[in-house]
Amino acid sequence: MNARTSSAGKQAVRPAAPFPDAPAVLKSLGQFRSGQIRVLYIFPFQRLDKNRWEAWRQIDVELQLKKGSESSHSAAWRHPKNPAIELMRDRKIKKPASTTTPTLAQVDGTPANLAQVKITVDRDGIYQVRYEDLVDAGVELPEGLDPWELRLTNKGHEVPFYIVDHEDRSFDRGDYIEFYGEFSRAPKNPEAPDVYLDIYSTQNVYWLAWNQGQGQKMIEEEGLVLETDPSKFRTVYSFPSKVHFEQDRHFDRLGRYQKQIPRDHWFMDRGVFSSEKKDYALDLPDPDTQSDQPVELRIMLHGQTFSDSLPHTVEAFLNQRLVLHGSWFGQTPFLLSASAAQSINANTLNERKNTVTLVNRAPEDRVDNFFVNWIEVTYPRLLKAHQGYLEFTIPRDEPEGLFDFTISGFSTDQISLYKLGASKIIGADIEAIEDALGNRTYQVHFQDEVLTRNVRYVAVEEAAKLKPISIQPHEPVDLRDPALAADYVVIAYDSLLQSEP
């Protein structure tokens, strides 16, 4: 499908390189069932420089569908070679009567017998995987691979990603993909609210594959600052930022717990004993201490000692101000949190360094102890990058509409913007700011029409983009192949295997 445009009656002389460079652009969004999906962008305005614009009075668009182009393009991935059959051919094993070889049960929703790449991450952030990274890891990519045929999944769900391929529809040297990756958290379980981290590993695996249909892509979206009337947009100064603190330093078997529901057995330390107080340092970057939005504090505790008649009693202080108190019985978890009547003012917070102090109010002559599992703070945070990175959203309780964002605190003008799960935002204004001492920083300014309050953004410097902790090729395998017959399978750590299997 091609798009051809014509235009007439512009209000200004067209420059050599306006932005965008064409009044209409046709882009591919991917595949739905047997059909290709494309989006037609119409740009009635073109930007000449920071203060000058031009407009089209008329734009005519002609779409032409080339016969056979869709079917020939789709066939390449709809009928990939069956690796199990190819393996049988190589080993001269008689092919089964049916050419539809049964596949293994899917792992994370991805067929186990298809070529793919295992990408492992252990932090939240924007990850960049270059063509060269894959080659250096030993991945054999098909020559002339169309990057739009790449597909990224995690735990059975597709992950949208952004492609840079220099517009040649071939994934090769200099090309890369970017995606938002997360460390592994425990599945949400109302019966196990104390379990936040994955009990097996915080490392999270993303699967990159091809010849399995076009995956979800992040499109490019304009973030131009077009609206100058303050009455028609809402300016964002701060937003609710949730910070989770958890350090697994002490293990306890919790011998009184006999249920099958998962329980977190790792805690911050040996606990808070009778009449003891203990401090826990929290790093809260750039709090908006002038905000009228409250601070939410949640502390997950767990009793170690147990009594049916004598409760655990705790008081919690934030920067030496009493903010929470509570009591509970037994060797059980307990969530200490603020109610609406116990709201915490933002001016309670300090810049960066904050302290939560827990006091065990049991008398000194009584044996009592409870553990600290994790501490979670949601606070109003300024739109300011920390170490070249900021993940942010719109303010609490704001309705949908046009929002104006200015994020400061960057050390370079190489800044990327993303709307998570949807797009990479382009066309934002990036300005240098110099203070009285001559220190230069950069800020990025953009506007966005927000359609859902669940929207999340990331602003990140180029140097703050992350690399996976490992990239490993995953070769096709079919355990039903007679040539791979075995009596049993041994699964163990590499260090425990005395020899190669």
- In terms of domains, do 372 and 419 share one? no
Predicted confidence at residue 189, as pLDDT, reads 93
* Pairing of β 58-64 and β 470-474: unpaired
- In terms of domains, do 143 and 262 share one? no
Whole-model pTM: value is: 0.76
- In terms of domains, do 279 and 368 share one? yes
285 within some domain: yes
- Residue finishing a domain among 185, 217, 249: 217
- In terms of domains, do 370 and 343 share one? yes
- Per-residue tokens: 464: 């703050």
Helices and strands per DSSP (H, E), number in the chain: 3, 34
Q: Are 470 and 398 in contact (CB under 8 A)?
A: no
- In terms of domains, do 252 and 370 share one? yes
478 within some domain: no
Q: Are 31 and 37 in contact (CB under 8 A)?
A: yes
Chain segment 383-419, per-residue pLDDT in tens: 999 999 999 999 998 999 999 999 999 999 999 999 9
Q: What CA–CA distance (Å, rounded) separates 264 from 271?
A: 14
Q: How far is CA 422 from CA 156, 170, 223, 259, 477, in A?
A: 19, 23, 13, 41, 34
- Residues 6 or more apart from 286 whose CB is under 8 A from it? 351, 381, 382, 384, 386, 409
Kindly compute the dihedral angle of the four CA atoms of residues 336, 340, 342, 348, in this order, to the nearest 10 degrees: 100
Residue range 45-63: average pLDDT?
81
Q: Cis peptide before 476, with omega less than 30 degrees from 0?
A: no
- Per-residue tokens: 302: 């767990």
Look at the block and give the residue holding tokens 């009337």: 229
- In terms of domains, do 144 and 186 share one? yes
393 closest CA partner among 448, 346, 459, 454: 454
- In terms of domains, do 342 and 393 share one? no
317 within some domain: yes
- Per-residue tokens: 439: 């220190």
Look at the block and give the residue holding tokens 């517009």: 167
- Residue finishing a domain among 217, 252, 269: 217
**Is 96's pLDDT higher than 80?**
no
- In terms of domains, do 322 and 366 share one? yes
- In terms of domains, do 387 and 411 share one? yes
413 within some domain: yes
272 within some domain: yes
Q: Are 294 and 345 in contact (CB under 8 A)?
A: yes
Q: What is the largest CA-CA distance in the chain?
A: 90
Q: What CA–CA distance (Å, rounded) separates 142 from 341?
A: 62
Q: What CA–CA distance (Å, rounded) separates 63 from 178?
A: 31
- In terms of domains, do 211 and 174 share one? yes
- Domain with 408, as residue range(s), is 221-237+383-461
For 281, other C-beta atoms within 10 Å of its C-beta total 9
496 within some domain: no
Which of 214 and 138 is assigned the larger pLDDT?
A: 138
- In terms of domains, do 321 and 290 share one? yes
**Is 363's pLDDT higher than 50?**
yes
Query: DSSP string spanning 144-184?
Result: T--GGG-EEEETTEE--BEEE-TTSS---TT-EEEEEE---
Kindly compute the dihedral angle of the four CA atoms of residues 196, 200, 203, 204, in this order, to the nearest 10 degrees: -80
- Residue finishing a domain among 326, 360, 380: 380
Give the phi and the psi of residue 492 in degrees, each rounded to 5.
Answer: -160, 165
Predicted confidence at residue 480, as pLDDT, reads 78
Chain segment 207-243, per-residue pLDDT in tens: 999 988 889 999 999 999 999 999 999 999 999 999 9
What CATH code is carried by the domain that includes residue 265? Answer: 2.60.120.260
**Is 257's pLDDT higher than 70?**
yes
Chain segment 411-435, per-residue pLDDT in tens: 999 999 999 999 999 999 999 999 9
- Beta partners for residue 352, in sequence order: 284
What is the total count of domains within the chain? Answer: 4
70 within some domain: no
Residue range 300-312: average pLDDT?
96
**Is 60's pLDDT higher than 90?**
no
- In terms of domains, do 245 and 371 share one? yes
When pLDDT is cut at 50, 70 and 90, the band that residue 137 belongs to is very high
Which of 26 and 381 is assigned the larger pLDDT?
A: 381
